[in-house]
Amino acid sequence: MPYGNDSCKGHETASYISVLVHLWDEWVGLGSLEDYLSYLDYLVWVFTPLAVVFILPFVIVLFLYLSILFLHVYKRKNELKEAYSNNLWDCARKTLATLWDGHATIWHGYEIHGLEKIPDDGPALIVYYHGAIPIDYYYFLANVIIQKGRTCHSVADHILFKIPGFKLLLEVFSVMHGPQEECVRALQNGHLLGISPGGVREALFSDETYPLLWGKRTGFAQVAIDSKVPIIPMFTQNVREGFRSLGTLRFFKWMYERFRLPIAPVYGGFPVKFRTYLGDPIPYDPNVTATELAEKAQQAVQSLIDRHQKIPGNVLGALLERFPGRRKEE
């Protein structure tokens, strides 16, 4: 008889626990947990590609900071024995140029056409189209160092000089803010100089149709006239397919026009085919005004775009150009 009572009590306890579990299940919604997990998996599947295209640009920023770290290590190692040598940074520049050229070859199958138009010595002004991230210009600088043994000075927007940690990198690769007098001085000293007349505006607001956003800028042309140097036009095929900007959205455009804040997000990092083309030099002509020369330079860059770029640009098509037999017709 006692055994039977214990059995009844055990059954009542099990029933009580079952009720509690059912109430807990209803209260916390565990019955729907599987549905929630399935929905979460769906969200991850949808948003992962979107996250990737915004994360990849930061890989370039990371690569830049790794370059800066290398320069700091190199500086500490050599500052004592070569503190007063004019060639202190030559080895560092060549090493970083090799690393960037390797990245260009692996990630973008990078090619450069017309490098022979860059003089082996003496000055020239290189004028180029500005992508959302001018990584193609970094590749060009690397090739000039490796193949020509020269350092091309560059003009950059003042915002670049405010980025923490960039000072040493800008100094080593002779990047300047761009007052006309400083540009003229660099050219008169026999250096190459690269400048994008479209600048930040072109980087943010140009798109896959590749419009040149130079406005009425003639300062670069006046620099070429004052220095008596040729202008060499340059354009990189598919640069807008590698990285794209959301600057065409009204909010980001308003922020730039109102506060000069270039905060438009950049996405991409796609391993599309890059080909840089250098056009025929525009020789110095003392009878040409800055306005006329600026128009000639813009027409020369536009001619390179018309000849070498499919409009509108297409990311998938640019990716397919990485494969043999898919080369775009010249």
Bridge partners (DSSP) listed for residue 176: 155
- Whole-angstrom distance between the N-terminal and C-terminal Cα of the chain? 100
Catalytic residue among 103, 108, 130, 308: 130
User: Could you give the CA distance from residue 282 to residue 293 in angstroms, rounded to a whole number?
Assistant: 9
The identity of residue 282, as a single letter, is: I
SS3 content of the chain, % helix, strand, coil (to 5): 55, 10, 30
Alpha helices, H only, the chain: 2-28, 33-78, 90-108, 135-143, 167-172, 180-188, 199-205, 219-227, 239-242, 250-259, 290-308, 315-320
Bridge partners (DSSP) listed for residue 116: none
The closest of 240, 141, 156 to 195, measured between CA atoms, is: 156
Structural contact between residues 130 and 220, judged by C-beta atoms closer than 8 angstroms? no
Concerning whether 108 is annotated as a catalytic residue, the answer is: no
The identity of residue 99, as a single letter, is: L
Which residues are known to be catalytic?
A: 130
